A = this chain, B = another copy of it.
Amino acid sequence: MSEAAKPQARELPYVMAINEGIREVLREQQDAFIAGEDVAVAGSVYGYCTGLLDEFGPDRVVDTPISEKGIMGLGVGASATGCRPIIDLMFMDFIGECMDEVANQMAKMRFMFGGKATLPVTVLTMGGAGGSLAAQHSQSLEAWLAHLPGMKVCMPSDAYDAKGMIISACRDDNPVFVVLNKASLAMTMEVPEGPYEVPLGEACVRRQGTNLTIVAFGRMVHEAMAAADKLKDLGIDAEVIDARSVQPFDTATVVNSIKKTHRALVIHEAVKFGGIGGEITAQIQEEAFDYLDAPVMRVAAPFSPVPFSPALEQVYIPNAESIIAKVKETLEL
């Protein structure tokens, strides 16, 4: 179903949009199942698997041991042999436990086999800081995944996209990471009933503007929008682009915008050094160099692990204020 033809919509929090996305997939794909730590009886620690065990039974909603390598291997082996697994990795930070299965097996198997294997596996995982969960439960590691040929990576910023991208990811015949954001779980908005897709690899212009382009994804989109609202009062008209996917990345939409605004700011929650913002910046200046009136600037986390104390975490995470500050710098105000 195209994004245009939206069915009945109701207010739904992000967490329940995730739930509906998984539910639609399990309904339409008989080869699909979801497996992960505490997804069945507990309905996931975030609650987004609530009710799935009841509707689909224990064969299709599967609690696993605390064995990330095993779980991810399950996704590789089951997807290569005809299933369409949804693998739940509770926190994105735990990817270190199964990076081999993700990077060396899941992402590469098709290529290594000369195209003869197909791995329609979707991994759901939760990134982001904000809840004082400290250094091992708050990271944004999408840059690792986006650097992996064979892998797709999307980061839905809101409930509508979360549901639609989960469905798109599960219908896709490639390994796809859907990186969710735990600080967005309670955010509500109108979400249509029934299945719909939000295409992978397509950015979305969230706000039209003429003075500069702000590129963000995941939860940072909302900070960017809030910043844009306030910037308006300062007479600055910012265009905000939600990249939505980081692999593949929709360079065209970003570059087109910048050809209009001549200035760009890239925002992400991950630490700045080595974050995907560098890649985006590099691409922008490669493709729109002559249109740029100022360097592409980045707003991202400083170079430290995520701190526990709310006093520190608050200054750690990029927000509307730090975005505004950087915009002023970019515009030399």
Task: Verify A112–B99 contact, CB threshold 8 A.
Answer: no
Q: How far is the CB of A326 from chain B (nearest CB, A)?
A: 11
In the complex, per-residue mask of A215-233: 1 if CB is within 8 Å of any chain B CB, else 0:
0000000000000000000
Residue of B nearest to A277 (CB): B282
Task: Verify A111–B304 contact, CB threshold 8 A.
Answer: yes
With contacts A96-B104, A108-B135, A144-B144 taken as known, whether A282 is within 8 angstroms of B304 at the C-beta atoms is no
Chain B neighbourhood of A279, CB < 8 A? 273-275, 278
A94 within 8 A of B: yes
Selected from B93, B141, B148, B273, the residue in CB contact (under 8 A) with A247 is B273
Selected from B99, B112, B274, the residue in CB contact (under 8 A) with A147 is B274
Q: Which of A274-320 contact B (CB under 8 A)?
A: 274-283, 285-287, 289, 292, 294-298, 303-305, 307-308
A143 within 8 A of B: yes
With contacts A147-B143, A278-B279, A281-B282 taken as known, whether A294 is within 8 angstroms of B305 at the C-beta atoms is no
A200 within 8 A of B: no
Residue of B nearest to A103 (CB): B96
Chain B neighbourhood of A294, CB < 8 A? 289
Task: Verify A150–B305 contact, CB threshold 8 A.
Answer: yes
Task: Verify A278–B282 contact, CB threshold 8 A.
Answer: yes
Chain B neighbourhood of A135, CB < 8 A? 104, 108, 111-112
Residue of B nearest to A275 (CB): B147
Q: In the complex, A96 Cα to B105 Cα: how many Å?
A: 10
A34 within 8 A of B: no
In the complex, per-residue mask of A90-121: 1 if CB is within 8 Å of any chain B CB, else 0:
00011111111111100110011000000000
Q: In the complex, A296 Cα to B282 Cα: how many Å?
A: 8
Task: Verify B298–A282 contact, CB threshold 8 A.
Answer: yes
Q: How far is the CB of A305 from chain B (nearest CB, A)?
A: 5
Chain B neighbourhood of A102, CB < 8 A? 96
Q: In the complex, A150 Cα to B305 Cα: how many Å?
A: 8
Chain B neighbourhood of A276, CB < 8 A? 274, 278
Task: Verify B270–A147 contact, CB threshold 8 A.
Answer: yes
A-B contact pairs, 18 of them (CB 8 A): A95-B99, A96-B103, A96-B104, A97-B100, A104-B135, A112-B135, A112-B308, A144-B144, A144-B147, A147-B275, A249-B273, A274-B276, A276-B278, A278-B278, A278-B283, A285-B295, A286-B295, A289-B294
**Which residues on A are within 8 Å of B, measured CB to CB?**
93-104, 107-108, 111-112, 134-136, 141, 143-144, 146-150, 247, 249, 270-271, 273-283, 285-287, 289, 292, 294-298, 303-305, 307-308
In addition to A96-B98, A149-B271, A278-B283, 9 A-B residue pairs with Cβ atoms within 8 Å of each other are A96-B101, A112-B308, A146-B274, A149-B303, A249-B273, A276-B278, A281-B281, A282-B298, A286-B298
